[in-house]
Amino acid sequence: MATPNYIAANGSSSAQSLTPDLFKTLVENVTDTIFLIDLESEECIYVSPSVHALLDLDAGELIGRPLTEFVHPDDRAKVVARSACLRQGRGGRTIVTRMSHRERKWVWVQSTDSPVLRLDGRSTTVVTVTNARERVLAETGLRAARIRLRRLLDQINRRQEPVEDADGSFDVIVETLAAALELRDDETGQHTRRVADLAMALTRGVDPKLANDPELRYGFLLHDIGKIGIPDAILLKKGRLTAGEIRTLEMHTTLGEHLLARLPFLSDLAHEVVAYHHERWDGTGYPWGLSGEEIPLVARIFAVVDAFDAMTSNRPYRDAMTARGAIAEIERSAGTHFDPDVVDAFLPIARQLANQSARGGR
């Protein structure tokens, strides 16, 4: 069989031969771990060196042994069933399981199989394995969040209040839900209403027509609804978060967007606040890395207000900043974190708050 060639950027195939040495370099330096598995015996025929970063094991410790020896006992049947489905030409090729780490712990991994390959008379598959910890945390958090949200909604329903207010709005249910959510990480329960009021005032300064939307306040009140899926050990941690904990906390925007599907009366504006209020003007935010006017206006507005309130509130790991200090920080971040036009509209409102705070001795 002819040696395959790279396909050049211009579409030609004369760029460079894929030599055995070059092929070995590619396979042995990819970030994901590659296994070549015998589908009859589950034997590991080949394992790439990156398995060391994944499981703290050397490839030689796995080669020649069944893959199932390194899979959690509760997950082995899933692996065997997948191999059987592959041999029969059916079934899904991606599964999530736990594999053993040298430090006597289990690592969540996601593995994706190639179609069946014939090698020296054996049915084999190439399995690409990646760390699935964040995926599992997100799915676990989402399940927990749905349960908590269902309980909160049940509590509201047991109050025997009408789902809709007399004017056809949902103020009672949203205000009650927001207060219940806020009590998880704010003993006063005032942050949600405080930041919603400030966001409404800023919206009136930026776009009075937008501020007239009756459901905009719902999005402001429920901006952190996804935090009900974040473990207390992270949400309530006293001290700075690790990099992994920060990534988990950042999942709250995506979790919140999923949870809003349980509240079908909410408008697109509410979804935009929840999903995008941690995006940054320069594209360095999360979860999507949107920049500039790609970020919905309501999210750009709320980002400024939320940051100001966070800076002027006590946190377990730091004391509150003065209002004037927070204003200076917001000004410095115009054009990077925040929409400069939104910041310009916010400054008069913030300075008025700072003056009120100074008169009150704060």
> Which pLDDT score is estimated for 238?
79
Q: Domain 31-131, what architecture?
A: 2-Layer Sandwich (3.30)
Average pLDDT on 105-125 reads: 90
Give me the percent of the chain exceeding a pLDDT of 90: 41
What tens digit of pLDDT does each residue of 233-277 get? 788 787 888 888 888 888 889 888 888 877 777 878 889 999 999
Helices (H) and strands (E) in the chain, counts: 15, 6
CA-nearest of 72, 73, 71, 45 to 60 is 45
pLDDT band at 3 (very low <50, low <70, confident <90, very high): very low
Report the 10 Å Cβ neighbour count for 354. Answer: 18
Q: Report the amino acid identity of residue 173.
A: I
> Which pLDDT score is estimated for 259?
80
Q: At what angle do helices 252-259 and 268-276 cross, to 10 degrees?
A: 160
Examine the pLDDT at 125 and tell me if it is beyond 50. yes
Report the 10 Å Cβ neighbour count for 357. Answer: 14
135-359 CATH: 1.10.3210.10
Q: Please list the residue range(s) of the chain that carry CATH number 3.30.450.20.
A: 31-131
Q: Are strands 105-113 and 117-119 parallel, antiparallel or unpaired?
A: unpaired
What tens digit of pLDDT does each residue of 293-337 get? 999 999 999 999 999 998 998 766 677 889 999 999 999 999 999
pLDDT band at 54 (very low <50, low <70, confident <90, very high): very high
- Give the whole-angstrom CA distance, residue 279 versus residue 338: 9
SS3 (DSSP) at 5: strand
Cis status, amide bond into 214, omega within 30 of 0: no
Examine the pLDDT at 9 and tell me if it is beyond 50. no
Q: Which residues contact 176 (CB under 8 A, 6 or more apart)?
A: 156, 159
Q: 287 near 278, Cβ under 8 Å?
A: yes
Q: At what angle do helices 133-158 and 252-259 cross, to 10 degrees?
A: 40
Taking phi first (over 0 means left), then psi (-120 to 50 degrees means alpha), and beta for anything else, what does residue 114 get?
beta
H helices of 260-339, in order, are 268-276, 297-311, 323-332
Q: Which residues contact 242 (CB under 8 A, 6 or more apart)?
A: none
Please write down the long-range contacts of 210-216, taking CB distance under 8 Å and 24 or more positions apart: 210/297, 210/298, 213/267, 213/269, 214/169, 215/266, 215/267, 215/269, 215/270, 216/267, 216/269, 216/270, 216/273, 216/298
pLDDT band at 126 (very low <50, low <70, confident <90, very high): very high
Q: Give the total residue count for the chain.
A: 362
Name the residue with higher pLDDT: 215 or 63.
Answer: 63
Name the residue with higher pLDDT: 171 or 36.
Answer: 36
Return the structure tokens found at 344. 């310009």
- Give the whole-angstrom CA distance, residue 274 versus residue 260: 9
Q: Please list the residue range(s) of the chain that carry CATH number 1.10.3210.10.
A: 135-359
What tens digit of pLDDT does each residue of 145-185 get? 667 666 666 665 555 554 454 444 556 667 667 766 665 55
The whole-chain average pLDDT of the chain stands at 82
What tens digit of pLDDT does each residue of 334-361 get? 999 999 999 999 999 999 988 877 666 5
Give me the percent of the chain exceeding a pLDDT of 70: 78
Average pLDDT on 64-90 reads: 90
pTM for this predicted structure: 0.60
Least confident window among 109-123, 224-238, 244-258: 224-238
